[in-house]
């Protein structure tokens, strides 16, 4: 087994490694990534290559464009799952949705607006669409809603809009949902047209300083924003920029959902965790 250099050894050479990556990749903003994440990713890559000396890896990254691209690809983590955090989805279904529906009835302001802000291959916004359709059916409530789903990665968005998933990627789904919302095709499954049409996908960079929310949503004003398993890859400065944007895109009293490992970032930023020990936050009603 290859044992790559320690965290500290790679850490010392990190600025040099990043220098060569930045020279060759103008599209990916490496400077914004979290340092620990960068070091661990380089460590994994060196282990996979059987590379024992950080100077050798530095040489490789300086000269070899393919290695540069492979490392960048490893840093663009696009993994997702349907109903990835089941507790979050259960809380949305049993507590937040009834609240939002009640609020809508009081104010009669039309649709409930959702944004999945780093949707990867679509499993997160499609999970939400299934949940909303099931809710509508069981409660017989009129539930006008719109789901906008965005990501920076076009390749993942293409997969998302195709609505095609391998059997393995459906692990978290109940048999009832699988039968109701998926159709077997080419060794995998296609999501039904009803769910596919419920989500509006587009490309959007959360670090774009000129726009608060995806242009297709026209005016933002979301009741609920999902930004799960993205903050963890960025450094404190970039996390703050992203959280500022998401906060602006929410209506007062709107909900922000993150991954469980990201709760402390959001608390530090000043959001209130609406239900203890969840990754569900609420924007203050008055700002």
Binding site for ligand SAM (CB under 6 A): 76-81, 84, 118, 120, 124, 151-153, 156, 205-207, 228-230, 259
b/e map 209-247, b = 16+ CB within 10 Å: eeeebbeebeebebbbbbbbbbbbbbeeebbebbbebbb
Q: Least distance to ligand SAM from the beta carbon of 89, Å?
A: 12
> Is the CB of 97 or the CB of 118 nearer to ligand SAM?
118
> Is the CB of 67 or the CB of 151 nearer to ligand SAM?
151
Q: Least distance to ligand SAM from the beta carbon of 228, Å?
A: 3
Q: Least distance to ligand SAM from the beta carbon of 76, Å?
A: 6
> Is the CB of 60 or the CB of 206 nearer to ligand SAM?
206
> Is the CB of 60 or the CB of 152 nearer to ligand SAM?
152
Q: Least distance to ligand SAM from the beta carbon of 203, Å?
A: 8
Q: Least distance to ligand SAM from the beta carbon of 154, Å?
A: 10
* CB < 8 Å & 24+ apart, contacts of 192-198: 194/133, 195/126, 195/129, 195/130, 195/133, 195/163, 196/126, 196/161, 196/163, 198/129, 198/132, 198/133, 198/147
Rounded to whole angstroms, the Cα distance separating 130 from 61 reads 44
> Is the CB of 254 or the CB of 259 nearer to ligand SAM?
259
């Amino acid at each position: 087994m290859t044992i790559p250099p320690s965290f500290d050894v790679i850490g010392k050479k990190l600025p040099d490694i990043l220098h060569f990556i930045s020279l060759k990749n103008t599209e990916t903003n490496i400077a914004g990534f979290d340092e620990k994440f960068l070091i661990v990713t380089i460590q994994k890559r060196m282990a996979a290559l059987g590379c024992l000396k950080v100077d050798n890896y530095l040489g490789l990254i300086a000269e070899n464009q393919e290695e540069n691209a492979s490392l960048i690809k490893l840093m663009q983590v696009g993994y997702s799952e349907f109903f990835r955090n089941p507790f979050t989805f259960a809380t949305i279904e049993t507590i937040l949705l009834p609240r939002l529906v009640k609020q809508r009835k009081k104010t009669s302001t039309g649709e409930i607006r959702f944004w999945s802000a780093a949707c990867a291959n679509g499993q997160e916004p499609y999970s939400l669409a299934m949940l909303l359709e099931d809710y509508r059916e069981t409660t017989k409530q009129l539930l006008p809603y719109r789901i906008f789903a965005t990501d920076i990665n076009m390749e993942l968005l293409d997969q998302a809009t195709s609505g095609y998933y391998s059997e393995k990627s459906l692990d978290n789904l109940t048999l009832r949902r699988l039968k109701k919302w998926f159709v077997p095709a080419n060794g995998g499954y296609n999501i039904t047209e009803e769910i596919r049409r419920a989500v509006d996908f587009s490309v959007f960079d959360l670090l774009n300083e000129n726009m608060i929310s995806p242009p297709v949503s026209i005016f933002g004003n979301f009741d609920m924003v999902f930004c799960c398993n993205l903050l963890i890859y960025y450094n404190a400065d970039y996390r703050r920029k992203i959280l500022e944007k998401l906060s602006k895109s929410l209506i007062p009293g709107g909900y922000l959902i993150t991954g469980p490992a990201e709760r402390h970032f959001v608390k530090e930023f000043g959001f209130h965790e609406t239900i203890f020990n969840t990754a569900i936050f609420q924007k203050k009603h008055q700002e």
